[in-house]
């Protein structure tokens, strides 16, 4: 650890609180779309990211033997097969593209991104002398340069590594000993990585001026999955999921106190993964499925964590059974008007839930109406 890393570690003190739910000022009225019907091989992996001005969602999930990208277009949902694999994570680029990384079936890390020419894919290399053993997570540096975090092994210990693409090839770097890495890039092009080392979660930030990793402890956890993200003002947040105890926590760095603090969000989570995202106002949000088969949308709107429960049973507008599958991901993304979209598997298939009511009519809302007209025409 560098001297500055030791200094940061020395002042990092964990503060834990129980985040009680509260009601939001605006009631969310959820609308549902079926992306695909019931898959032949149900899965729990789901990721979602917005493209083209945060207007059009793309949902990623293994389906019928391979990872699929489902993209909403003016003509409805399109589908593209990316290859076999699991553990999918996705992020938007700066120019409207979407990038996705996943664990391939041949024990390799795969990356793909949308473009005007269709989907482009490549294989992310392991650190020289090491073998790939897990991951990944993905984000973009400036200039739409993808960067991927994953886990390697070169002996008895696992090593967290990062690979960044410079436009021609992937360049690898090691962060530290550990596993379960999650990655995000802040507004200053610094790469942040959170990972587990034993029963401790560590956060490492790449200092662009020196090229070194500054490392500090977040707190004591036993996470099976984590998700790191930065807010618009580089607020740092980490969603920490312990699948063994069904516990979901939110760790964040309090810039005023110079300490890490933790909010306990739930002790009844059935989802095996979680994804954290911020809206444009700097409010962190995530979603999960609980043990009673209910989808929870959680957002800290500045007054604490709101707990918004999505409808259950049969949706009266679409006749879709919207009860989630046990253990499934609930992937969250925001459109350009900070409207949340949640993708998850239900008894009726892969669904997209969203609420167009709090904001004026957006491109997405118009699009949904267009899709409905097209479908009614096809059915008639």
How many Cα atoms within 13 Å fall on the side-chain side of residue 5?
18
197, 219 contact by CB (below 8 A):
no
33, 365 contact by CB (below 8 A):
no
Q: What percent of the chain has pLDDT over 70?
A: 86
119, 110 contact by CB (below 8 A):
no
Asked: is 3-24+56-311 a CATH 3.20.20.70 domain? The reply is no
How many Cα atoms within 13 Å fall on the side-chain side of residue 241?
26
Confidence of residue 365 (pLDDT cuts 50, 70, 90): very low
Q: pLDDT averaged over the chain? A: 86
Pick the residue with more confidence: 24 or 207?
207
347, 326 contact by CB (below 8 A):
no
CA distances from 7 to 12, 192, 245, 251, 260 (A): 9, 18, 33, 20, 14
pLDDT of residue 106: 82
- Tokens 């977040």, residue located: 218
**What ranges do the domains of the chain cover?**
3-24+56-311
Distance CA 187, CA 141 (A): 9
This prediction has a pTM of 0.87
- Residue 107 DSSP class: S
**How do residues 2-51 score in pLDDT, each as one tens digit?**
323 332 333 334 444 556 555 554 578 899 999 998 765 667 899 999 99
Q: Out of 19-23, 165-169, 198-202, 288-292, which region has the weakest mean confidence (pLDDT)?
A: 19-23
SS3 309: strand
Element (H, E) at 371: helix 363-379
Distance CA 152, CA 107 (A): 11
Sheet of strand 247-254: strand arrangement = 14-18, 259-266, 247-254, 236-242, 225-230
Distance CA 107, CA 85 (A): 9
β 349-354/31-36 pair status: antiparallel
Structure tokens at 271: 């989802």
What are φ and ψ of residue 210, in 5° steps? -110, -15
CA distances from 172 to 60, 97, 142, 212, 321 (A): 26, 23, 18, 13, 45
Distance CA 269, CA 243 (A): 8
**How do residues 100-145 score in pLDDT, each as one tens digit?**
999 988 889 999 999 878 899 999 999 998 999 888 999 999 999 9
**How do residues 277-320 score in pLDDT, each as one tens digit?**
999 999 999 999 999 999 999 999 989 999 999 999 999 999 99
SS3 368: helix
Nearest Cα neighbor of 126 from 142, 138, 110, 145 is 110
- Tokens 């998850």, residue located: 344
Q: Out of 1-5, 117-121, 158-162, 203-207, which region has the weakest mean confidence (pLDDT)?
A: 1-5
pLDDT beyond 70 at 334: yes
Distance CA 263, CA 251 (A): 6
Pick the residue with more confidence: 347 or 232?
232
pLDDT of residue 53: 86
DSSP-assigned beta bridge partners for residue 315: none
22, 36 contact by CB (below 8 A):
no
| Burial 286-314, CB ≥16 within 10 A → b, else e | bbbbbeebbbbbbbbbeeebbbbebeeee
What are φ and ψ of residue 46, in 5° steps? -145, 140
Helices and strands, counts by H and E, the chain: 2, 29
pLDDT beyond 60 at 322: yes
pLDDT of residue 289: 97
Nearest Cα neighbor of 175 from 186, 191, 199, 156 is 191
Structure tokens at 151: 């886990």
329, 346 contact by CB (below 8 A):
no
Distance CA 287, CA 297 (A): 4
246, 268 contact by CB (below 8 A):
yes
Structure tokens at 265: 């969000």
């Amino acid at each position: 650890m560098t001297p500055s890393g030791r200094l940061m570690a020395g002042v990092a003190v964990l503060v834990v609180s129980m985040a009680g739910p509260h009601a939001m000022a605006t009631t969310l009225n959820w609308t549902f779309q079926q992306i695909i019907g019931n898959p032949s091989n149900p899965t729990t992996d789901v990721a979602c990211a917005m493209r083209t001005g945060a207007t059009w969602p793309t949902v990623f999930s293994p389906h019928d033997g391979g990872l699929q990208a489902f993209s909403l277009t003016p003509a409805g949902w399109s589908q593209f097969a990316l290859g076999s694999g699991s553990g999918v994570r996705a992020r938007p680029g700066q120019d409207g593209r979407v990038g996705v990384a996943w664990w391939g079936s041949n024990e390799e890390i795969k990356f793909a991104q949308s473009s005007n020419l269709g989907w482009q894919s490549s294989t992310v290399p392991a650190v020289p002398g090491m073998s790939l053993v897990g991951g990944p997570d993905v984000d973009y540096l400036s200039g739409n340069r993808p960067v991927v975090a994953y886990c390697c092994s070169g002996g008895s210990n696992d090593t967290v590594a990062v690979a960044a693409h410079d436009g021609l090839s992937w360049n690898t770097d090691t962060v530290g000993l550990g596993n379960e890495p999650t990655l995000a890039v802040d507004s200053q092009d610094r790469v942040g990585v959170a990972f587990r080392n034993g029963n401790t979660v560590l956060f490492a930030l790449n200092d662009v001026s020196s090229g070194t990793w500054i490392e500090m402890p977040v707190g004591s956890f036993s996470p099976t999955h984590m998700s790191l993200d930065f807010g618009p003002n580089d607020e740092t947040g980490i969603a920490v999921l312990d699948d063994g105890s069904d516990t979901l926590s939110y760790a964040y760095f309090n810039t005023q106190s110079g300490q890490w603090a933790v909010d306990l969000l739930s002790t009844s989570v059935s989802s095996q993964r979680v994804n954290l995202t911020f809206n444009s106002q700097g409010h962190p949000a995530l979603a999960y499925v609980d043990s009673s088969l209910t989808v929870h949308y959680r957002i800290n709107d500045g007054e604490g964590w709101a707990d918004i429960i999505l409808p259950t049973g049969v949706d009266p507008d679409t006749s879709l059974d919207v009860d989630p599958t046990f253990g499934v991901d609930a992937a969250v993304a925001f459109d350009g008007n900070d409207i949340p979209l949640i993708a998850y598997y239900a008894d009726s298939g892969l669904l997209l839930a969203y609420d167009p009511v709090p904001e004026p009519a957006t491109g997405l809302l118009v699009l949904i109406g267009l899709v409905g007209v097209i479908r009614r025409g096809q059915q008639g």
